[in-house]
Chains A and B, each alone.
Chain A
Amino acid sequence: MRKCSLDKLDLVFAEIAKNAELYLPVDGSDGGAVYQKWTEGTKRSEKLNTVKSPKDFFFPQTEDLMAFKTEGKSIDVIDTRKAAEDFVVFGVRACDVKAFDVLDRVFMVEPQDSYYTTKREHGVIIALACNKPSETCFCKTFGIDPKEPMGDISAWETDSEIFFKANNEKGEALLSKLSGLLADCADDAADAQKEKIDAIMDKLPLKGLTTEGFGGGKTEELFNRPEWAELSESCLGCGTCTFVCPTCQCYDIKDFNTGNGVLRYRCWDSCMYSDFTKMAHGNNRLTQKERFRQRFMHKLVYYPENNDGLFSCVGCGRCLAKCPISMNIAKVMKKMGGKASE
């Protein structure tokens, strides 16, 4: 483990930024935190987490896939993929790091999505333990420990110091470049801070939320439950939960006529939208109840069924904070699953 005092952190950032673009959460003009490129003088946010998740780094909301030139009856495909540059993201929370695992299992299985994979290979994640979890946090429900964030490098922060530990070669390579700024320290140097985090975790209101009753093989049991009607009753059908979610991965592919050719791009899509499954001759999910159910069944049943029991929710709490009607996965789990133990 290595460390430096917090007042030297800007020097660490400057050193990192010499070789790669560095991104970190800063306060946006609206008060919410947002990932931004670091430059001299950038002040990092004190907020627990960003409004939008860091999935944009690997799976941006819109992304060009290719371009076409058409002339008469002929078409040319233009590969617009660019060589990726190395970049570093500082301050990713344990939940969001776990969300990358969830996305990896979609985009990096055969046939690999080259757009995602390339960016994933070039990104270094410095994950930061959560000193002040929010009431909306329930990462522990999904086996995530906010005091042990994974990523290429894990970091812990106290009032005066910051500690770093590399978790793989990529992380080690970055830390070794910072050796002039970091001092070696014992592996248990951050333990006092970890204990403080544990103490807070015990007090979180959603600490008893359990995945009992969910997981692979539960389709038959859950799909036709009457509670879906009540839970979805006031759902507006907007895409807020989907778009702030670090694990939602559905996308649309669309063509845009640039006036000088055609750009084919993809963009996030939402199973909450009425046209998500609409075909020219019908729609297999006609009402909001069915769309709402799909989102939660996918996260809590279908995805784990296909991915060794891994749930595709990481308990980041963004949907709890942002849903216009305050309906969210925690409420769904409490209503449909095992009761929370106090």
Chain B
Amino acid sequence: MQTITRQTLLDKAVSLLNSGAVTCVLGWKKGEFDYDITPAIFRSAEDLEANFVWNDFCGANFSKYLVAKTDRLDGKMLVFLKPCDTYSFNQLLTEHRFDREKVYAVGIPCEGMADIAKIKAITGDGISSIACDEKISVTTLYADAPVVIDSKDVLLERCENCKSKKHVAYDELLCEEGETIDSNRFDEVARLEAMTPDERFAFWQNELSRCIRCNACRDACPACTCEKCVFDNPKSGVENKAPANSFEEKLFHIIRAYHVAGRCTDCGECSRVCPQNIPLHLLNRKFIKDINEFYGEYQAGEEVGSRAPLVNYTQDDIEPGDVFNRGGDNNA
């Protein structure tokens, strides 16, 4: 359950819109069911009153939308940012991808977002309604009584391993200043590192073989904001769409992971949007873990303008030979 209410956010949005401080609001719009929420730009108080939602299904990270949606905007856009979204927000600013002056950022607290797939694994299909109160109460077409679930049991993976409740960017904060969290987010990476190369290859082969090359991971990724992606270039030979052979799809994800290394804030959108439930975030986390180990702790997006270790030479940098030697063939 979220600690801040829809009404609080709605009041904030309506007052900023009515005062003219912002001309539009980037928020969550209700869908057909209680969980299929769409990011939307609201331009009137009436639209907000009727369609704005805030509940346990507002997982979408809005930061990337700011690149395209503030480009030719008159006035400012209000954006609601959960703590993890603020890291992407800063990283995009570091890369000069949108104009900070066009945005009014309101930090909002987040208690973790729910994964509808995990809920359905418990309740089955045929959900008629979901109430997000103290607990999540799911009514289905096939059970006589609602199924009551503790929201902690059905969190999105990225929320289970939440790295921070701290807002690293905002114009206004609607909650107490939060703290970063010692999460267990590298445990799964460590488990993969402990595998033999053959086991690890089999793991990724199984996961990546499901890829349908829909590019949702790339298109949702706040670190992927190239105006022209190499995978959209017919001359590249690695264009989007289907792979020419089964290895190419692995290449796609690995190239992407390299490209966002040092810039990925670990927001988890890639895994959240994957229609085939491929744990893509693990590739990025492996890079984050390695960067932390080689160059000292670094969190992309924590500060605007920070220089990522991979683009910042210091005399203390680890020698390539040390990287090569550190774990023999157990390197991922």
Contact = CB atoms under 8 A, between A and B. Distances in A.
Contacts of B244: 62, 254, 256, 263, 265
Sort chain A's interface into a size bin. Answer: 35 or more
Contacts of A324: 216, 219-220, 272-273, 275
Contacts of A275: 232, 234, 239-240
Interface of A: 28-32, 34, 47-48, 51-52, 61-62, 132-136, 200, 203-206, 230, 233-234, 236-240, 242-244, 252, 254, 256, 263, 265, 267-270, 273-275, 320, 322, 324-328, 330-331, 334
A28 B65 CA distance: 33
A325 B39 contact: yes
Interface stretch (B30-38, B292-300, B310-318): B30-38
12 contacts: A132-B142, A206-B32, A233-B40, A237-B219, A239-B212, A239-B241, A269-B241, A273-B240, A325-B39, A325-B60, A326-B38, A331-B31
B38 A325 contact: yes
Interface stretch (B118-126, B170-178, B258-266): B118-126
Contact of B33 (A32, A47, A135): A135
B214 A238 contact: yes
B215 interface: yes
Contacts of A270: 214, 241
B217 to A, nearest CB: 8
Contacts of A243: 212-214, 275
Contacts of B218: 238
A47 B32 CA distance: 22
B117 interface: yes
Contacts of B41: 233-234
Q: Which 10 A-B pairs have the closest CB atoms?
A: A267-B242, A324-B273, A326-B36, A30-B277, A236-B219, A238-B216, A256-B244, A134-B125, A322-B275, A238-B219
A51 B276 CA distance: 8
B93 interface: no
Given A30-B278, A268-B241, 13 more contacts: A30-B276, A32-B276, A62-B244, A135-B33, A234-B65, A238-B216, A238-B218, A242-B214, A243-B212, A267-B241, A275-B232, A275-B240, A331-B31
Interface string B248-287: 0000000000000000000000001101111000000000
Interface residues of B, number: 46
Contacts of B272: 324
A135 B125 contact: yes
A48 B215 contact: no
Nearest to B57: A326
A136 B215 CA distance: 23
Interface string B187-227: 00000000000000000001100101111101110000000
Nearest to A131: B142
Given A200-B141, A243-B214, A252 B275 contact: no
Nearest to B32: A330
B128 interface: yes
Nearest to B129: A205
B66 to A, nearest CB: 12
A62 B127 contact: no
A34 B210 CA distance: 10
A255 to B, nearest CB: 9
Given A28-B210, A135-B126, A275-B232, A239 B240 contact: yes
Contacts of B241: 239, 252, 254, 267-270, 273
